[in-house]
Amino acid sequence: MWNELEHLIVNYQQLNLQEVVDYEKFSMISVMWHSTKIEGCALSETDTRVLIEHDITAKGKPLKDHFMLKDHYAAFQFIKEQAVIKTKPDIDFIRHLGAMVMKNTGEQVNTVLGSFDTSKGDLRLVQVYVDKKYFPNHTKVPSLLEEFSSNLNERIDTVRGTDILKLAADVHYNFVNIHPFGDGNGRTARLLMNYVQMYHNQPFIKIFTEDRVEYIESLNETEAQQNPDIFRAFIAGQQIKFLKSEIELFNRSATGRITLF
């Protein structure tokens, strides 16, 4: 698997797709749509493209879903800019990113322990339980996030080759298991994963919405077996799927092979 991935990355980069007009934006919108679709967004990929490129809303689709996509795109642009200048993601960076993801869909949450605002990147003050899984107690979140940031920043300049993708997978897995925010954790985890990729000028990682069940199962199995290679392999499989699709699409367009009906 890893040899195949390395070979595909080389082939993909040799296509120089970054020189194709709007390719990066096209790819970013697709990655973003899959990420929000996993969270239940009702817009289609075409709806998403029209919204981002022309600011036209999809008739009959929830306004909140449009805000989710616009916020996600702004957050994607933010990490792209930060990757260029090699910013090391500290807690302020992560909270800012979380706030961007939830800017127009987040809200203030009132608890017996106080209030926190998911639209401002506040760390949660409640216990979180999702799909038969309890996440760490909120009192542990600040120290866990500090440890997460330190680990990421110690490794991000040292990885090479397919170890970049392994780090990206670890970043996603570790962040989502801390679950520091009241909402938006999955989207933020996938953005941080792609931040590692952009930091190293590697292709985006797309988690396909049709593979959502396998995605969640791989996260759960990684925890159950305490084996990071399980989730790394899932992410590698998604990347192979993405790269093969992009290379095939490019080759088909380059040779002019189309079917007319």
pLDDT 10s digits, 214-252: 999 999 999 999 999 999 999 999 999 999 988 887 777
| Residue 187 and residue 207 in contact, taking contact as beta carbons nearer than 8 Å | no
Is residue 260 a part of any domain in this protein? Answer: no
Is residue 261 a part of any domain in this protein? Answer: no
- Note the pLDDT of residue 21: 52
Average pLDDT over residues 155-178: 97
Helix (H) or strand (E) holding 202: none
CATH number at residue 174: 1.10.3290.10
- Note the pLDDT of residue 128: 85
- Note the pLDDT of residue 255: 59
The DSSP bridge partners found for residue 111 are 114
Is residue 255 a part of any domain in this protein? Answer: no
| Residue 205 and residue 240 in contact, taking contact as beta carbons nearer than 8 Å | no
Is residue 258 a part of any domain in this protein? Answer: no
Into how many domains does the chain fold? 1
110-155 per-position pLDDT tens digit: 998 899 999 999 999 998 877 777 899 999 999 999 999 999 999 9
Q: With bands split at pLDDT 50, 70 and 90, how would you rate the model's confidence at 196?
A: very high
Query: Is the pLDDT assigned to residue 31 strictly greater than 70?
Result: yes
State whether residue 130 is helix, strand or coil: strand
Instruction: Tell me how far apart the terminal alpha carbons of the chain are, to the nearest angstrom.
Output: 38
Is residue 189 a part of any domain in this protein? Answer: yes
- Using CA atoms, how far apart are residues 24 and 47, in angstroms rounded to an integer? 18
The DSSP bridge partners found for residue 27 are none
Name the residue type at position 33. W
| Residue 165 and residue 239 in contact, taking contact as beta carbons nearer than 8 Å | yes
- Using CA atoms, how far apart are residues 204 and 30, in angstroms rounded to an integer? 10
State the DSSP code for 215. Answer: H
Query: Is the pLDDT assigned to residue 86 strictly greater than 60?
Result: yes
Is residue 211 a part of any domain in this protein? Answer: yes
Token pair in block for residue 165: 């993708």
Is residue 257 a part of any domain in this protein? Answer: no
Is residue 256 a part of any domain in this protein? Answer: no
Average pLDDT over residues 61-66: 96
Q: With bands split at pLDDT 50, 70 and 90, how would you rate the model's confidence at 1?
A: confident
Q: With bands split at pLDDT 50, 70 and 90, how would you rate the model's confidence at 18?
A: low
Range of the domain at 47: 2-249
